[in-house]
A and B are shown apart, each in its own frame.
Chain A
Amino acid sequence: MRLTWRGLLLLLPITAVFVVTFGVPLAELVKLSFDTHDIGFVGTNEAYRFTLENYRDLTESVFLNYASDTFRLSGIACAVGLILAYPIAYAIARTPRASTRRWLLGFLVSMLFLSALIRVYSIQLTFSAVGPVGDLVQLFGVATNDRLYAEILVVVGLLHWIVPITALTLVGTLQNINPQLEEAAQVLGARRWRAVLSVSVPLSARGAISGFAISFALAGAAFVVPQILGRGKVQFLSNLVYNRFSQVADYPSGAAISLAMVVATSALLLLVSVVFTPKWDTR
């Protein structure tokens, strides 16, 4: 499709909104990340403006561990979320009755409206040492106060957002796949599950990658889930950003971490897109 002058004019309002609401704050963040900050004081030091110190701190191994935790646990949550969301999306897309489909879609959307704090605290109470699941897992010798358990809780917490978002992303993709293709595979002798795996799954791969990408961006930026369910043992980069902006007023360091998160997340998503998309396009 060729982009015409009229098309460009139509894009102008949204571009302006985007520049004001996203571009300008991001530029401010970039500027801030090169400012100096004096320990014990609020914000930036007016006397000394430019420094790379805030970025140099990010190369320390400790910081890389926080980054690793953020992306590792987000990745695990997104992969598990994709596996859980696919059958849900498939069931919605293939449900013959429109009313059932609407009800199921409404249920998924309503899950996103549930307060984050309610979800997080309900998980904490259910899985804590004195909650029903906590009691159960302790019978199998699982220590509910150790780090691994906190990591599992963070993943469970992230799944509450990831599953509905990924499923909603996949529904559209699956609805666009002609169900007769699966029927054709079955006519040729494939079992139902085989037909789904060999026909629908590859054809919906781009949608799955999109769902994964959106979920990954959300999970990587999660704040409340690691803050409450991580128990201070598991901390994401967003928690470090919060500490710097809201607890000790070291804006330059917070800005540098924020930008590092943007760059790292974008790079990872680009990598996923470059590695997987051509592979599925050739099919």
Chain B
Amino acid sequence: VDQIDDLVLELQRRRIGRRQFVTRALGVGLSVPAAGALLAACGGDDGEGGSGNGAPLTAVMWGGAWLDGAKEITAPWSKSTGSRVTWSVHEGGATAIIPKIAARWPTPAYDLVAMYSPVFQTAMREGWLETITAEAVPALADIPEAFVPMSESGEAVGVPFSQAGGAWGYRTDLVESELESMSDLLREDLNGQISFPEPVGFTGLQLVSLAMDRGGSETNIDPGFAFAEEIARAGNFGRIFTGSEEGINSITTGETAVAFLDLGAWARIGKDFPVTVLNRTPGFHSFLYVEGFGILKGPRSETAIDLASEFISVKNNSRYNEVLGQGPVNPKSEIPAGLSEFVYTDPAELEEFAVFPDYEVMSKSVEEWLDRWEKDIVPLIS
């Protein structure tokens, strides 16, 4: 009876198709008419269209730990469903995937794409994302609403897998003294020592951090550009990077000492180098966002949703984020050991140090910020 229950569950979760269901039902001792009757009672698709019967998926993920961890989680899922997953890697930031999807829409080359908050906003605005229901992803019901990408009508349009963030930090062995305020970014001893993402990376959070120090915000970015201009004139920008790995390389090779990076990157760098992450230092703002899968509308979206749901099961969500050095989104998942420094668990800390900017505004403004960066700041970087 348990085996039959499991089979029914797998069919309902679309992990197997009708043919597989019947074959396996016969294997556990059901007669053909009984298997047929059970199948009719369960409903389900015809097993040819792709969902749950080995439909190949193409997914996009960030490289390095993100991809390694994703492959680890996908392997048993592929084995049980027969769905092969081909992974593509984001070139630079996740924002770069937008034009690639646009170029092929309505027949995109991808089924599910790893995104973070601002990219979710853009994809949602374009109407590309499939609605995610609690029936299709039962674990979604456990996840705090703040972590779930929502449409204007309040429907979930993504499956989050990590709570992540961006923050300033530095290699303690490469700076003369600790950084105590944002104004320290102008210090003479930091000449050529700052790694800074270009505005498209992090959708401009780094510029917002500069702006907030001077009384600005994501809706008033001018003070941020004025601050960036001062840093450029002081000669303190050592590298402007497009992808996180480039920033990580810059810090780990000692090319630069200070950077604005994602908290997961800092956690990984912290394993091998002495670093101080300024996510609990008054005056330095750290920003929180969510990473997850956006499921693109298409013929294989049900299978894609099923794969995405694997990432937020209690066990997998903890395991995956341990690899990434980020916080799980499923409250039932354990926070991986050694990550407490990089993840906020205390609501009071969250209130005091973490910023949730308006990603909708930022995703619309970043293009203007990039233009301004190219015109006003890059020529000043010496």
| Chain A interfacial positions (CB closer than 8 Å to B) | 39-43, 60, 62, 65-66, 121, 124-125, 128-131, 143-147, 227-228, 231-233, 235, 240, 243, 245-251
- The answer on a CB contact under 8 Å between A43 and B365 is no
Contact A249 B381 (CB under 8 A): no
Question: Is the CB of B283 closer than 8 A to any CB of chain A?
Answer: no
Measured CB to CB, the closest approach of chain B to A39, in angstroms, equals 5
| Distance from A131 Cβ to chain B, minimum over Cβ atoms (Å) | 8
Pick from A131, A145, A245, A250: contact of B256, CB below 8 A: A145
Would you call A246 and B368 a contact (CB within 8 A)? no
Q: Considering the complex, give the chain B residue whose CB is closest to the CB of A40.
A: B364
The 8 Å CB contact of A247, one of B92, B196, B253, is B92
In angstroms, how far is the closest chain B Cβ from the Cβ of A246?
Answer: 4
B370 CB–A CB distance under 8 Å = yes
- Is the Cβ of B381 less than 8 Å from the Cβ of A248? no
Interface check B82, CB cutoff 8 A: no
Query: How far, in whole Å, are A228 and B122 apart by their CA atoms in the complex?
Result: 28
Q: A40-B365, A143-B192, A227-B242 are in contact. Are A233 and B381 (CB under 8 A)?
A: yes
A-B contact count (CB 8 A): 100
Q: How far is the CB of B84 from chain A (nearest CB, A)?
A: 27
Docked-complex contact A232 and B198, CB < 8 angstroms: yes
Residue of B at shortest CB range from A57?
B371
Name the contact of A129 in the complex, choosing from B122, B196, B254, B381 (C-beta under 8 A): B254
Given A39-B368, A248-B370, A251-B99, answer yes or no on A235-B92 (Cβ-Cβ < 8 Å).
Answer: no
A-B contact pairs, 28 of them (CB 8 A): A39-B364, A40-B367, A42-B98, A42-B126, A43-B102, A62-B374, A128-B253, A129-B255, A145-B193, A146-B192, A146-B235, A147-B382, A231-B238, A232-B196, A232-B240, A232-B241, A232-B242, A232-B378, A233-B237, A233-B240, A233-B378, A233-B381, A233-B382, A243-B370, A246-B100, A247-B92, A247-B242, A249-B99
Instruction: Tell me the interface secondary structure of chain A in the complex.
Output: loop
Bound: A248/B374 CA distance, A: 13
Interface size (B, Cβ < 8 Å)?
44
Residue of B with least CB distance to A243? B370
Residue picked from A130, A247, A248, most chain B C-beta under 10 Å: A247
- Select which of A65, A231, A246 is within 8 A of B99 by beta carbon: A246
What CA separation (Å) do A147 and B379 show in the bound complex?
Answer: 10
Most buried by B among A39, A245, A249: A249
A66 to B374, CA, bound (A): 9
> Is the CB–CB distance between A130 and B254 below 8 Å?
yes
Cross-chain contact of A42 among B102, B192, B238 (Cβ < 8 A): B102
Q: Is the CB of B375 within 8 A of A60?
A: yes
Kindly identify which residue among B125, B196, B200, B382 contacts A248, using a CB–CB cutoff of 8 Å.
B200
Q: A65-B379, A228-B246, A233-B381 are in contact. Are A247 and B96 (CB under 8 A)?
A: yes
Minimum CB–CB distance from B194 to chain A (whole Å) comes to: 10
Shortest CB distance B42–A (Å): 40
**Nearest A residue to B95 by beta-carbon distance?**
A247
Q: How far is the CA of A124 from the CA of B125 in the complex (A)?
A: 40
Quick one: CB contact mask for B201-237 with A, threshold 8 Å, 1 for yes? 0000000000000000000000000000000000101
> Known contacts A145-B192, A146-B192, A228-B246: does B367 contact A248 (CB below 8 Å)?
yes
